[in-house]
Amino acid sequence: MNKNTSFLRLQLLLALLLTVLFTSQAQSQTKSGVDISKLDAYYQKALKDWNVPGMAIAIVKDDSVVFAKGYGVLDNKAGGKVDANTLFGIASNTKAYTAAALATLVDAGKIKWTDKVKQYVPYLQLYDPFVTENLTIEDLLSHRVGLQTFSGDLLWYNTTYSREEIIKRMRYLEPAYGFRDGYGYSNLMFITAGKVIENVTGKTWENYIKETFLQPLGMNRTYTSVNELKGINNVASPHGFDENGKPYATTLTAWDSWNPAAGIFTSVSQQAQWMRLQLNHGTYKGKKIFSEAASRNMWTAHNPFPISVKAEEITPSTHFTAAGLGWFVSDYEGRKLVYHGGGHEGMNSRTVLVPEENLGVVILTNSMSSIMAPIANYTIDQFMDVQNGRDWSQFTLDAIAKAKKEQEDAAPKLAKKEKEKKTRNQPDRALADYAGTYHSELYGDATVTLRNGKLELQLVPAPTLGGTLTFWQHDIFNLDWKNDYALLHPTNVRFIAGEDGNISQMRLDSDNPDFHFDELKFEKVKQDLQL
């Protein structure tokens, strides 16, 4: 499979840079004087400019849903119209639900934010024993445990591992920085937070979320697992990008172990109710779901991190950025922003709150593009009446085009170097020498099988992850993934010889912004898998 990896990475980096920041259109202007028809036209143009199959947007202002509309199609081949009730995966926007669920337990006196996690998850064991014993619930939610961003995420991606098994395997992940001494975005810590909820309440994370939030908020078309979508209509299809940057529809897969980190599916009309709850500091239609004190704590800067020079140039009014609990917080044009993004396979999304303006914006898409951040920024500028506001969509597209051109200009030189590297058309040893079973303490087993004259790789914990190996150079093979998942990128399989000259190790090399294949250190434990 040949993905447009570099193009996706450019979009991702630029999106991170800009993060400092019933279908209805009954009125052309809101009470705040914003021209809704102007926003509508802007969204329609952006959808086309970004080549996004479909998206939906909702805006909450002063506890009312002032805009909710869908654009484009559910599937770029099968069609189907997106509307305000179309279901999308909101991915890591789920983290705010998990944090709020813990907040309800704090309010009930069942836990404290500063409680040690091991008190509730006794089998927790991290690489450093000190961190294991001192990790708190607040640490779980603020990305400061010491792991690099996305560390260990291959443990949940398409594997059969339970949450408990994932947590038990975390002890093999080496830290990238000191405990509470840096920032590393961690899905695994939110999976652990979900286990805290389960062990304290005696309920599954899914059921606790439904009972505590979805039912009281009337979110009856919001689901906590892909498995719940069977037979449900008006569901958007995820889309990846092919080698020409064109979107293609792919399939949804259920990774239930990650649900506390990123499992919710909802629509903008439903997520608007969640934003109303948040903007009212835990109260919805007069009913208190969580306390104002809990809301304040979740929106507090628990883990500040630096603002880059480039980000300062783009948004000079932003002076701080930090992880809250299940949210990120920063300032913009004299106002506090509370926000989070989501990246499901083939579906990107964003939720932004401006509490002082009683304003919330949610953008859900069935695309891997970074359209959400510029749309959110533009919408906020309109409601805050930012003078000389930027056309964020065009600004971001121009930046992506510039970076892509620079990359393309460098490509011929890189291609020439790669061509010079390749010295042979076949490996130095027999294909059977590479076959066998390989073991990673972190991940489990992988098999390399010689079948009909070709090598096939299979990651055993993830039945759908594997493919055919084609010789590239020396002891390195190109992996042709057998499934066209949007989050997979070009990958090489590199075999390493031991002191005796025989193959003893295997590594997967992939320039993938979402997964650290280099964490899977496979040692050969069994020879000869031939069919």
pLDDT, position 512: 94
511 has pLDDT over 50: yes
530 has pLDDT over 80: no
Least confident of 28-42, 82-96, 430-444: 28-42
Dihedral pair phi/psi, residue 273, rounded to 5°: -70, -35
pLDDT class of 26 with cuts at 50, 70, 90: very low
User: In this structure, what token pair is assigned to residue 54?
Assistant: 């479909």
pLDDT tens for each residue of 103-153: 999 999 999 999 999 999 999 999 999 999 999 999 999 999 999 999 999
pLDDT tens for each residue of 190-210: 999 999 999 999 999 999 999
pLDDT class of 531 with cuts at 50, 70, 90: low
pLDDT tens for each residue of 270-308: 999 999 999 999 999 999 999 999 999 999 999 999 999
pLDDT, position 470: 97
Largest CA distance in the chain: 77
> How confident is the prediction for the chain on average, in pLDDT?
92
pLDDT class of 31 with cuts at 50, 70, 90: low
pLDDT tens for each residue of 494-506: 999 999 999 999 9
pLDDT class of 25 with cuts at 50, 70, 90: very low
∠ CA 267-240-50 to the nearest 5 degrees?
75
pLDDT class of 17 with cuts at 50, 70, 90: low
Among residues of the chain, what percentage have pLDDT more than 70?
Answer: 91
pLDDT class of 338 with cuts at 50, 70, 90: very high
22 has pLDDT over 80: no
pLDDT, position 418: 56
pLDDT class of 349 with cuts at 50, 70, 90: very high
5 has pLDDT over 50: no
385 has pLDDT over 60: yes
User: In this structure, what token pair is assigned to residue 314?
Assistant: 């783009």
pLDDT class of 74 with cuts at 50, 70, 90: very high
378: left (phi over 0), alpha (psi -120 to 50) or beta: alpha
∠ CA 35-36-39 to the nearest 5 degrees?
95
Describe the crossing of helices 392-421 and 36-49 by its angle, rounded to 10 degrees.
10
Among residues of the chain, what percentage have pLDDT more than 90?
Answer: 84
- Strand order of the sheet with strand 321-323? 79-81, 64-75, 54-61, 359-365, 347-354, 335-344, 328-332, 321-323, 303-304
pLDDT tens for each residue of 43-72: 999 999 999 999 999 999 999 999 999 999
Tell me which residue has tokens 């708190």.
136
240 has pLDDT over 50: yes
Residue of 444, 434, 435 lying closest to 522 (CA atoms): 444
pLDDT, position 270: 98
Q: Residue count of the chain, please give it.
A: 531
pLDDT class of 529 with cuts at 50, 70, 90: low
Q: Residue 475 and residue 494: Cα distance in Å, rounded?
A: 6
Q: Residue 263 and residue 469: Cα distance in Å, rounded?
A: 32
419 has pLDDT over 60: no
pLDDT, position 245: 84
231: left (phi over 0), alpha (psi -120 to 50) or beta: left
Residue of 188, 186, 182 lying closest to 170 (CA atoms): 188
Tell me which residue has tokens 């533009």.
378
pLDDT, position 384: 95
Q: 417: Cβ–Cβ under 8 A, 6 or more apart, which residues?
A: none
230: β partners: none
CB 234 within 8 A of CB 88: no
Residue 284 or residue 22, greater confidence: 284
Dihedral (C-alpha) 160, 162, 167, 168: value to the nearest 10 degrees? -80
336 has pLDDT over 60: yes
pLDDT class of 416 with cuts at 50, 70, 90: low
pLDDT, position 422: 53
39 has pLDDT over 50: yes
pLDDT tens for each residue of 439-481: 999 999 999 999 999 999 999 999 999 999 999 999 999 999 9
pLDDT, position 14: 53
∠ CA 35-41-42 to the nearest 5 degrees?
90
